């Protein structure tokens, strides 16, 4: 049956080579049978700019996606909170298409809204303020003009600070807010919703304005690989 796959929060990095190996095998033996693979943010642990394509881990991931696309599986990539600097040079090298957050698609007859998920976490006001700043074109242009090594060092410092800040935040603060979910569903005419970011995989059912909607949260790849398989009959989460 024709089907599409959805993943998020792989956080691929040189420090976790086993995860990259699992991703390569997933692309060749599982995703290659799908019509499309949607990567809904945080493919990489971080992305300092498209001038880092020569990094061995990045090159491996890029060639894996290019091979998948050339063999007939369409590859779509959405920015996450860790890899929002991915740009067209990477997309061309990976034979992939960058899609905006959010993106509404017709998934085998079911309107389906795709998001990374971070904008739904409206309780985390400090993060949303930071997100607004770094998504501005002026900020990105100035940041990308700096030497690559300097950018990587700053990103590493930000990652460490972020991990420390998480210890001070509640689970509720870092999870999606019901009002934000309802607003997104309402704005896009009550579709199915698929997103990542929270690392809390589950199927949630929402009643919004008298309409029944389902929300799929994708798993991270920190402990194991996983994906959501969707076809005309519905969606199924699968662990690798």
Query: What is the SS3 assignment for 66-128?
Result: HHHHHCCCEEEEECCCCCCCCCHHHHHHHCCEEECCCEEEEECCEEEEEECCHHHCCCCHHHH
| Residue 169, marked binder | yes
Task: Check the annotation: does 82 bind a ligand.
Answer: yes
The encoded tokens of residue 92 equal 């061309």
| Residue 116 marked ligand-binding | yes
118 is in an annotated binding site: no
Ramachandran quadrant class, 158 (left: phi over 0; alpha: psi -120 to 50; beta: rest): alpha
The verdict on whether residue 124 carries a ligand-binding annotation is yes
Q: Binding site annotation covers 58?
A: no
Using a 10 angstrom Cβ sphere, with 0-12 exposed, 13-18 middle and 19 or more buried, the burial of residue 46 is: buried
Instruction: Give the whole-angstrom CA distance, residue 46 versus residue 82.
Output: 5
How many other C-beta atoms are found inside a 10 Å radius of the C-beta of residue 31? 22
188 labeled part of a ligand binding site? no
From CA 19, how far away is CA 105, in angstroms rounded? Answer: 29
11 is in an annotated binding site: yes
Q: Confirm or deny that 165 is annotated as ligand binding.
A: no
Q: Which residues are annotated as a binding site for Mn(2+)?
A: 9, 11, 42, 81, 116, 197, 199
Q: Which residues are annotated as a binding site for substrate?
A: 81-82, 124, 162, 166, 169, 197
Q: Which residues are annotated as a binding site?
A: 9, 11, 42, 81-82, 116, 124, 162, 166, 169, 197, 199
């Amino acid at each position: 049956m024709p089907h599409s796959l959805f993943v998020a929060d792989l956080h691929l990095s040189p420090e976790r080579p086993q995860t990259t190996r699992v991703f390569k095998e997933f692309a060749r033996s599982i995703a290659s049978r799908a019509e499309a693979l949607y990567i809904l943010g945080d493919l990489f642990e971080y992305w300092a700019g498209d001038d880092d394509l020569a990094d061995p881990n990045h090159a491996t991931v890029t060639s894996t996606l290019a091979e998948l696309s050339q063999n007939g599986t369409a590859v779509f990539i959405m920015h996450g909170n860790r890899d929002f600097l991915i740009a067209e040079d990477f997309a061309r090298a990976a034979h992939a298409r960058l899609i905006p957050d959010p993106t509404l698609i017709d998934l085998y007859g079911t309107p389906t809204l795709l998001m990374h998920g971070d904008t739904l976490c409206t309780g985390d006001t400090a993060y949303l303020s930071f997100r607004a700043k770094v998504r501005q074109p002026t900020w990105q242009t100035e940041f990308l003009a700096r030497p690559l090594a300097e950018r990587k060092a700053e990103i590493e410092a930000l990652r460490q600070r972020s991990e420390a800040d998480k210890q001070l935040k509640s689970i509720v603060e870092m999870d999606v807010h019901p009002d934000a979910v309802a607003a997104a569903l309402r704005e896009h005419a009550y579709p199915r919703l698929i997103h990542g970011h929270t690392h809390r995989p589950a199927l949630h059912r929402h009643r919004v304005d008298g309409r029944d909607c389902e929300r799929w949260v994708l798993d991270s790849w920190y402990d194991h690989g996983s994906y959501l398989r969707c076809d005309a009959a519905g969606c199924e989460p699968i662990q690798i």
